[in-house]
Structure formats: C-alpha cells, structure tokens
Amino acid sequence: MTGSREAVLGRIRAALATAGPVAAQPVPREYDRRGALAPGSPEAIELLVDRLIDYRAEVQVVAPAEVTAAVARALGDAASVVVPRGLPDDVLAACEQDGRQVVGDLSEIPLTAAQLDGIDAVVTGARVAIALSGTIVLDGGPDQGRRAITLVPDLHVIVLRADQVVQTVPEAIALLDPTAPLTMISGPSATSDIELQRVEGVHGPRTLRVVIVG
Amino acid sequence: MTTFLGVPLRRHAHAPESPLRGTESFPQAARRELANPQLRANLAHATATIRAKRAAVVGELADWEALRDSGSAIKADVMARLPELLEQFEAAFTARGGTVHWAADADEANRIVTELVRATGADEVIKIKSMATQEIGLNEYLEEQGIAAVETDLAELIVQLGHDKPSHILVPAIHRNRTEIRDIFVSEMTGVVEGLTDDPRELAMAARTHLRRKFLSARVAVSGANFGIADTGTLCVVESEGNGRMCLTLPDTLITVMGIEKLLPTFADLEVFLQLLPRSSTGERMNPYTSLWSGVTPGDGPQDLHVVLLDNGRTNALADEVGRAALHCIRCSACLNVCPVYERTGGHAYGSVYPGPIGAVLTPQLTGMQGHDDPNASLPYASSLCGACYDACPVKINIPELLVELRARSVDDERGGMPGGWDAAMKAASWVMSDPKRFAAAEKGLQLGRIVAGRDRKISTLPPPLSGWTQSRDLPAPPAQTFRAWWRETHPEEQA
C-alpha cells in the first residue's frame, strides 16, 4: 500500500510537470462573507423561520419565559424522550411534563441503536443556525449529545437561542470547530427520488420542530 | 462479401466493458434510448422540474457569480497543489485516529475495501450512494467476495433491486416512474405491505421499513465523500434522506472511498461549496443533511475510520488541460439537467457511470480514448455544443470548449490512415463543385430526390454511405427547380 502512495503521488507530480509550472493564482473572495442582517436580529429570525417552514419544519418563536410550554407543545404526545446531559433546566422541565419517560444519554453507558429506536423523541440545543439556507448546525456539544440520539428517534425538537441565528453560510462556518463531529440539518429528512416529488421523512426523524427563544 | 465503402468495421478489441465504458458507441446507444417514449417522458418531466427549481434558488443569491468565480479558482488551486494538499490531508486525518489508504486503480481500491471489511468479520456492508464506488464497481466486487453491499439511498436501492444501472449522477433512478418502482418493490423487497400503491410517500415508507433493520444492526458502512478538507482532515457527505447519517454514525467501522481530486484546501472553503453544490444539484437552498467528521470522536460514531484515496485514471486526466479542468467537477449534475442531448437520450446512452456533458469529457479522460472503435471516443460528439452546461456549471467548467478540443484530438488520431467516409465525400464534392459542367450534371440528379422523398417531401433513408447522415436526420426533398435553372428562366437576357 505504501507503494501505491508513492506511485500515485509520483504520477501526480509527473502530470503537473507535463503541463508546465502553474503560477499560484489568488482566489477571489468577492462573495458575501457577512450578511446585511445582524446575528439574532428580528429580520434574521424571520428569514430563518421562512426557510424552515419552506422545508416543512414546524417553528415557534417564543419569549424566554415561554420555553417550557413551547417545548412541551413541540413534544406533543411523545411518551418517551432522550436528552443529552447538558440540556438547560427549563427545557428539561418540559421533557419531564405529562408523565413522559426521560432517558439521559450518558457517555458512560451509551444507549444502543435498538434502544434509541424505541424512544419517541429527542430534544437538543444547537451550535448555530443559518437563516439564508434554513440550516441548523449541531456540533455534539453538551446540550446536543452524540449524533445517534438526534438521528434514530422519529421526532427532533431543537431549541435555538436567537443570538445563535446568523444570516449567511460563511458566518456560520467561521463559528464551527472542524474537529467536532458536525451535522447540518435543513428540515426533516426528505427524498425526491420518485418522480422528483418531495417526500418528507425517510430515514432520519420524520418530524423536525424548532423552538426559537428570542 | 461486403463492399468496402470507406468506413472500416472494427471490433472493440481494446475496450472491455467497465463502469466507465459501455459496449456500444454513443450514437448506437442513443438511437435505442431515443426510441423509448416512457424514458423520454420521465426525463423531460424530471429535468424540467430540476431546471426550474435550480433557476429559482440560484436567482436568490446576488453573489452567485462571485461564488462561481471563487469555486473555480479554489479548484484550480487544488489541482496545482495536489500532492502537498493530499499529504496535508493524510497527516491531519491520521493524527485524529483515522487510517489513510492509497489506491492506484479500481482493482486496488476494491481489494483494500474488501480486506478492511473482512477484518471486521462482517459479511454485509451498508452503503451511501457514491460515484467513486460506482466507478470502481465496488458492489459487484464485494458480491464476488461473498460480501453483500446494501445500497441505502432510495434511488440507488431502486436501481439495485431492479437489477438496473444508474442513469443520472444525482437521481440514479430518474428513468423510472412510480408505477415501475412499485412493481420493483413488490417483486424484489421482502415484507412489503399488501396492496402497496404507487404513491411516492408509501413507496418511501416501504423503503424506510426495509432498511431500518439494516441500519440498526450494521457493523460496517462504506461511503464516498463530497469534499475532503486538507488542513483539518475533514470528510464531508451531503445528502437528503438521512440514510447517509445512519451509515456514517451507527456502525463501528466506516470506510470512505474518495477520488484524489475531491480536496478543498481549507475548512473555510466549505462556505463556498456548501452554497454552490445544493443549489446547483437539487435546486435546494441547502440539502437536508450534511455530515462532517475529522477523525475519530471517542464515544460518538464509528471508532474505526478509513479513507481510500483513489487515482483510477485521475492522474492521466491531470496531465492535460482538458482533463485537469474536468477534475474540477463537484458532481452536482446541473449540466445533465440542462442538456438537450441528455434530456432525450438519458444516462444509459453514455455507457459510463458519469453521463451527460461532464461525463462526455470526464469519462474519456479517465479511461483514455483507445482508438476509433472505443465507445468512449464517441462521447465528445454527444453534444450540440449549445453552451447551457457551461452556464449551469457552479465551478465554471467550460464543457463545450473541452468537447471541441477532444473532438479535434480524436480527428487528429484518425489522420494518416485509410480515408474515412467523410473525407471521401468532401473530396468528391470538391471535384464536382470545381467545374460548372460537372455541377450542372450533378444537379440533374436532384430530380431523383423528389421521387425518393415521396409525398411528405422528406427523405428518411439514403443508401450507404449517405445512410450515416440520414440515420439521425431527415433530408428535405430538393426543390422542384434549382437556383441555376430558375436564373436561366427569369433572366434570359443574361444568357451569353
């Protein structure tokens, strides 16, 4: 295998030499690296809500005092919910309402995929959201947990703080830690493979509900 | 005995069939595909739909052209610095607990993946749709080695269950409609609910049920990669259904096969490509799921990570300007969806897993064109050169220019041997037209054309070698009177 490494690199160098030296060209960066809307501004949130609804996600924008009620509403009739260890208290309180079974995903005893498959919902925070594309980014932080918990249960509730909403993709990328396992979510899972007719919910959570706390 | 007509018949001695090469030339395959009205109806609907969606979301971004310029320049930079960037990627991915393998060709890549799967003791792998693994025929190779490869993308599953070949880079089952898909599910899928209809939602849910068990129990997954980031060792998979996340997250072992050209220099470069790719490919502002991983994260996701860096002809392509430009491709398929030739012939006519305009450039560059009788030598002609593909390409690959260059090369390759039918026809025309008497004599023959044409005034078939022209075109009947005859009649005073 080492042989192929040297062979491939050698062939690349030879190929580049055949074509003659290539002068280093500066990469133009004339695109918008920052949007006109301030992070967390009502306009940025309005744009995000519009995009999320377009993807058939369900969105509530609420005041800080209403978080518990909003998350409880988002959980609906889910009888069980998995939570990461670092969920804020007011969000956790909503999970515990209505006699719901709350399962903590602690890294010492991670739940198996089969166990997760038996749980109705998951509630997490997020790292950042991109208004322009309707995208929410998870980075595995304490309020988000392992990737598997936001994947297997059928309902995902994301609680987003208003100040986490930026307008453009470059603003979000600048905030991310590349060494973290990152998942970008734009609406519930969807397919367009049959006559290009969009069907929400294939293998990931079929329902995505977002609570934005302004 | 056959009469020699200037077009020698040769066999495809040096061009075995592979995922990058069919058994017949584009014109032959296209003629068959064109005769399938169902295929044409499916394609017309699908490509028109994606075109409209793409145009709408691209129109939303005022900085779209600036993003294209940036994307194009980043790719040119990657090609110029490829050895350095690959070594940087390898160091970063290895430092975070991953293992990097290098494969010179398809066979080596297949062997590496097989050994890695065998080491886990598994006899089944779940797969994310990937052009690189299609290109090397990985599924077929694994099957031969007793390992089942289960495609988990809905369209790939449709293709796999239908014992079919993909016909589009992004939507491989674009040639199938809902009724055909229903029939495939009913006959090939175990445990299908009784009375399954052809409603797309019902079909998608049947696929969900079918694959759920596999996802929850699989130990090994195989993926491709949309991007590899050199400075951080990050791999990126862009998808819609969540089947990708399932494969990337739940198994213990993840093996990624990535073409060496898929690198981007820095993590920040994603800000350009995550805008260009989804809008160009599916016409969405962003695809539903994007996964990024830079090595092993303890306690989260696969703990045994591998990436196979694949050459398989890419260094051939890199050695010349056409190939190098084609390697900029990010496999968005925007060029397919705007191409009038693709829209009518479909993806199977190209004989390669890379169909459409970019496939017509990339395929012959990856395989080389092995003479006139190589089916891939016909691919540069699979275009009207209308330029729509260049306009649509998010990284500004000038596909029509590359196709013209490849045509010139294939013509140059043919020089010096037996004169072809085209050469002979041109020489004959030159001889006739250089003498007024010969030209007048030739004109008399035109009247015959009117008889051949019949009532609809169209000639659909001419005898060989002119049949080459009328195979794909009707010839209008000649006029009742030639211009020269009309001139003599209307200008008698001009006659000498």
Q: What is the mean pLDDT of residues B353-358?
A: 96
pLDDT, tens digit (0-9, with 9 covering 90-100), for B144-200:
999 999 999 999 999 999 999 999 998 899 999 999 999 999 999 988 888 999 999
In the block, tokens 């990050």 appear at B234
Of B46, B267, B321, nearest to A196 by CB-CB distance is B46
> What pLDDT was estimated at residue B84?
97
Dmax over Cα atoms in chain B, in whole Å? Answer: 99
Tokens of B350: 């190209």
The residue with greater pLDDT, A197 or B296, is: B296
pLDDT value for B14: 55
For residue range B228-286, list pLDDT tens digits in order. 999 999 999 999 999 999 999 999 999 999 999 999 999 999 999 999 999 999 999 99
Least CB–CB distance from B301: residue in A30, A147, A179: A147
pLDDT digits (tens, 9 = 90+) for B310-351: 999 999 999 999 999 999 999 999 999 999 999 999 999 999
Q: What is the pLDDT of residues B440-475, one digit of tens each?
A: 888 877 777 777 777 788 888 777 767 777 777 788
| B250 touches A at CB < 8 Å | yes
- Taking alpha carbons only, the member of A196, A195, A201, A100 closest to residue A155 is A201
- Distance between terminal CA atoms of chain B? 51
DSSP state of B114: H
B241/A189 Cβ within 8 A = yes
Best to test chain B binding among A107, A139, A154, A189 (most B CBs inside 10 Å): A189
* Residue contact B70–A30, C-beta within 8 A: yes
Q: Average pLDDT over chain A, rounded to whole?
A: 94
Closest chain B residue to A177 measured between Cα atoms? B267
Looking at beta carbons, which residues of chain B come within 8 Å of A183?
A: 245, 289-292
Are A135 and A185 in contact by the 8 Å Cβ rule? The answer is yes
Which residues of chain B from 89 to 118 reach within 8 Å of chain A, CB to CB? 96, 101-104, 108, 112
Nearest by CB to B69, which of A30, A33, A152? A30
- Name the least confident of A49-58, A89-98, A192-201, B74-83: A192-201
- Predicted confidence band at B99 (pLDDT cuts at 50, 70, 90)? very high
> B329 and B278 in contact (C-beta within 8 Å)?
no
Question: Which residues in chain B have their CB less than 8 angstroms from residue A130's CB?
Answer: 286
Beta strand pairing status for B253-259 and B220-223?
A: parallel
pLDDT at A24 over 60: yes
Q: Which residue of B has its CA nearest to A7?
A: B104
CB neighbour burial string for A31-65, b if at least 16 within 10 angstroms, e if fewer: bbeebebebebeebbebbbebbeebebbbbbbeee
B249 touches chain A (CB under 8 A): yes
Q: How confident is the model at residue B12 (pLDDT cuts 50, 70, 90)?
A: very low
pLDDT tens for B384-417 read 999 999 999 999 999 999 999 999 988 887 776 6
Residue B134 predicted with pLDDT over 80: yes
Per-residue pLDDT band at B2 (split at 50, 70, 90): very low
- How would you label B250-283 residue by residue, b for 16+ Cβ within 10 Å and e otherwise? bbebbbbbbbbbbbbbbbbbbbbbbbbbbbbbbb
pLDDT (0 to 100) of residue B469: 74
Residue B1 predicted with pLDDT over 70: no
Cis peptide before B465 (omega within 30 of 0): yes
What percent of chain A is predicted at pLDDT more than 70? 96
Cβ-nearest to B201 among A4, A110, A199 = A199
Nearest to B271 by CA among A172, A177, A39: A172
The pairing of beta strand A199-200 with beta strand A190-191: antiparallel
Listed in sequence order, the residues at least 6 apart from B335 whose beta carbon sits closer than 8 Å to its beta carbon are B356, B357, B358, B388, B389, B392, B393, B399
Residue B421: its pLDDT value, please?
Answer: 67
Quick check: A118 pLDDT over 80?
Answer: yes
pLDDT in tens, B57-74: 999 999 999 999 999 999
Distance of CA A17 to the CA centre of its chain: 43
Find the residue in A nearest to B292 (Cα).
A182
Average of pLDDT values for B70-79?
97
CB spacing of A133 vs B212 below 8 angstroms:
no
Closest Cα of chain B to A38: distance in Å? 18
Percent of chain B with pLDDT over 70: 95
Handedness of CA A170, B334, B354, B239 (dihedral sign): positive
Average pLDDT rounded to a whole number, residues B347-369: 95
**pLDDT at residue number B4:** 44
Q: Is residue A22 pLDDT above 70, yes or no?
A: no
Give strand ranges (E) for B260-313.
263-264, 289-293, 304-310
Position A109 scores a pLDDT of: 83
Whether ipTM tops 0.90, in short, is yes
Mean pLDDT throughout B349-377?
A: 94
Structure confidence at residue B5 as a pLDDT band (50, 70, 90)? very low
| SS3 state of residue A123 | strand
* Planar angle of CA B460, B465, B470, nearest 5 degrees: 20
The pLDDT value recorded for residue B230 is: 98
Q: Do A203 and B62 touch (CB under 8 A)?
A: no
Higher pLDDT: B494 or B135? It is B135
Chain A residues near residue B243 by CB distance under 8 angstroms: 202-203
pLDDT of res. B480 = 82
CB contacts of A192 in chain B (<8 Å) are 171, 240, 282
